[in-house]
């Protein structure tokens, strides 16, 4: 019996190039949190480079845990792990509340260690939530993941900094459009291996085209050291403060919710549905990776949804490809020069490729919704309201401005709020009270009429 595509081992060259493509897709997401937190603390350029390299290194280790797995740890799916952006707000809040800024990172690291260990213990219980994720819920969440990531791509397309003079300039948007066009043309007119690495080729082409416009900066390569190692507890031994621990535990719950949704989405895409056992193993990898990350000066780790889009688009489902990407992340953490090569790719070029990647995730969600039984008025309402709730942080970023900061950690995550809304509405409409037969509807607010004399099979929920 042939191996499932998830367990397929590709030729070395193909493994390396497709793995590098995954790194290119998630690099900006990994380095953004340490850059933001490091800047808030006031780290020197050298310390900031060290913190960024440490986060790349720990992301690689967490990816190994997730893809290769040990014992009951790791979903063994093509899942990239890295620093979760959900932790940025509470981490910067810790920095602001710390009088001596040299204590800020030790306090953050202590909180992440405790939250990671508690999450690891909670994984077997948390995974039982899978029964609350039928296709109408998973399809909605997958669609929200894609929609929530698209603004990130749009931001990249405008430039690296909103305060820069050229932010949103025709040059930046043009480079994004050219990169998008290159990816689309390669996907349309090539086949085989070239078609599968279209995103990587598009990033290379976009970077080269950007050189005459002065957008490509090779400074990071010139300034980077050849070898570096994230010395354990480089910034000091971890400190344990209750307020910081509580805030990072909230982030851990958000992260575990998003990871569960991501695993269900990826399971659908690779045609190996994530069951309760898989989700428990995946959550253990997330949480253990997070608990170990501060040892090497890294932050909380979580699944990267943007790489799900890459799997969906390329149809390369091998977990060993993503493990190869994890290997590149580890090498980049140990070799700052290698890390700086990815940093050379201009942000607008990443934005052009991101439109394809993140849009592919949303499209996968729509495919799942097609199978979710939307002929039922109940399911239409579930999808309609959940999407609306999930899009609030995107369409109206200040919608929850009057809420406490800890509450906003959850509320500002459209994926989390949309997921919770979909689960709750599915319970109310499909799992409580007398179940009705499936109904055909023409409008979500109309109950529809039963077809007399016809036996209907209720849609799965």
- Residue 220, pLDDT > 70, answer no
pLDDT above 60 (res 451): no
Determine the average pLDDT of the residues in 421-434: 82
Nearest CA to 425 out of 87, 141, 143 is that of 141
pLDDT tops 70 at residue 447: no
Higher per-residue confidence, 355 vs 434: 355
- What integer pLDDT is reported at residue 433 of this predicted model? 61
Assess whether pLDDT exceeds 50 at residue 375.
yes
Read off the pLDDT of residues 377-403 as tens digits, 9 standing for 90 and up.
788 999 999 999 989 988 898 898 888
Of the two residues 2 and 325, the one the predictor is more confident about is 325
Mean pLDDT value across residues 220-236: 77
User: What local confidence, expressed as pLDDT, does residue 114 receive?
Assistant: 95
Name the helix (H) or strand (E) containing 119. Answer: helix 104-126
Average pLDDT rounded to a whole number, residues 364-371: 81
Q: What is the mean pLDDT of the chain?
A: 81
Q: What is the pLDDT of residue 461?
A: 39
pLDDT of amino acid 241:
84
The reported pLDDT for the residue numbered 120 is: 94
In b/e form, how buried is each residue of 397-413, taking b as 16+ CB within 10 angstroms? Answer: eeebeeeeebebbbbbb
Cα 31–Cα 13–Cα 149 angle in degrees, nearest 5: 35
Average pLDDT over residues 180-193: 86
Tens digit of each residue's pLDDT (9 = 90 or more) over 41-90: 877 767 777 888 888 899 999 999 988 888 889 888 888 888 877 677 67
What average pLDDT does range 3-28 have in this prediction? 81
Nearest to 305 by CA among 149, 178, 180: 149
Q: What angle do CA 257, 417, 270 make, to 5 degrees?
A: 50
Instruction: Please tell me the predicted confidence (pLDDT) of residue 414.
Output: 78
Query: What is the pLDDT at residue 23?
Result: 83
User: In the chain, what percentage of residues exceed pLDDT 90?
Assistant: 17
Whether pLDDT at 448 is above 50: no
pLDDT at 443: 45
Q: Residue range 31-39: average pLDDT?
A: 76
As a three-state string, the secondary structure of 279-296 is HHHHHHHHHHHHHHHHHH
Question: Residue 333 — pLDDT band, cuts 50, 70, 90?
Answer: confident
Residue 311, pLDDT > 80, answer yes
pLDDT at 110 (0 to 100): 93
Report the run of H or E that residue 388 belongs to, with start and end.
helix 377-395
The residue with greater pLDDT, 296 or 359, is 296
pLDDT confidence of residue 125: 87
Is the pLDDT reported for residue 413 higher than 60?
yes
pLDDT range class, residue 135, cuts 50, 70, 90: confident
Domain residue spans of the chain: 5-428
pLDDT score of 193 more than 70: no
450 phi and psi, to 5 degrees?
A: -70, 145
* 159-163, 279-283, 407-411, 440-444, range with the lowest pLDDT: 440-444
pLDDT at 109: 93
Q: Percent of the chain at pLDDT above 70? A: 87
The per-residue pLDDT for 171 is: 92
Whether the per-residue pLDDT at 370 is higher than 90: the answer is no
In this prediction, residue 439 carries a pLDDT of 46
Confidence (pLDDT) at 387: 93
Across-strand partners of 73?
Answer: 70
CB contact at 8 A, 50 and 38: no
Residue 3's pLDDT is what?
A: 74
């Amino acid at each position: 019996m042939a191996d499932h595509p998830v367990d397929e081992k590709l030729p070395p060259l193909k493994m390396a190039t497709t793995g590098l493509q995954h790194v290119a897709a998630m690099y900006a997401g990994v380095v953004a949190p340490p850059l933001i937190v490091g800047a808030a603390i006031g780290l020197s350029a050298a310390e900031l480079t060290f913190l960024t390299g440490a986060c790349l290194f720990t992301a690689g280790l967490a990816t190994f845990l997730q893809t290769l797995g040990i014992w009951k740890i790791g979903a063994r799916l093509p899942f990239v792990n890295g620093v979760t952006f959900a932790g940025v707000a509470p981490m910067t809040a810790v920095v602001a509340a710390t009088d001596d800024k040299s204590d800020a990172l030790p306090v953050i690291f202590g909180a992440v260690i405790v939250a990671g260990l508690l999450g690891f213990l909670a994984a077997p219980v948390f995974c039982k939530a899978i029964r609350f994720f039928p296709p109408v819920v998973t399809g909605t969440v997958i669609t929200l993941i894609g929609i929530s990531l698209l603004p990130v791509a749009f931001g990249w397309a405008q430039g690296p900094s909103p305060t820069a003079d050229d932010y949103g300039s025709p040059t930046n948007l043009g480079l994004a459009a050219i990169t998008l066009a290159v990816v689309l043309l390669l996907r349309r007119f090539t086949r085989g291996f070239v078609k599968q690495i279209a995103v990587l080729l598009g990033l290379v082409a976009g970077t080269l085209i950007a050189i005459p416009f002065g957008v490509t900066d090779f400074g990071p390569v010139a300034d980077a050291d050849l070898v570096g190692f994230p010395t354990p507890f480089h910034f000091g031994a971890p400190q344990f403060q209750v307020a910081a621990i509580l805030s990072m535990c909230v982030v851990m719950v958000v992260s575990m919710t998003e990871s569960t949704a991501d695993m269900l989405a990826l399971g659908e895409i690779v045609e190996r549905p994530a069951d309760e056992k898989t989700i428990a193993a995946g959550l253990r990898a997330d949480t253990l990776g997070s608990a170990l990350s501060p040892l090497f000066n890294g932050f909380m780790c979580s699944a990267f949804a943007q790489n799900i889009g890459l799997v969906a688009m390329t149809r390369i489902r091998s977990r060993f490809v993503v493990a190869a990407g994890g290997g590149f992340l580890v090498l980049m953490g140990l070799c700052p020069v290698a890390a700086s090569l990815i940093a050379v790719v201009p942000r607008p070029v990443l934005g052009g490729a991101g439109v394809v990647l993140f849009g592919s995730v949303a499209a996968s969600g729509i495919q799942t919704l097609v199978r979710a039984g939307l002929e039922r008025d109940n399911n239409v309402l579930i999808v309609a309201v959940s999407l609306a709730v999930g899009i609030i942080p995107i369409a109206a970023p200040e919608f929850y401005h009057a809420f406490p900061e800890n509450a906003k950690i959850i509320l500002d995550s459209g994926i989390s709020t949309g997921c919770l809304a979909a689960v709750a509405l599915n319970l109310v409409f499909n799992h409580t009270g007398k179940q009705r037969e499936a109904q055909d509807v023409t409008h979500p607010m109309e109950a529809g009429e039963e077809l007399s004399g016809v036996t209907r099979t209720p849609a799965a929920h």
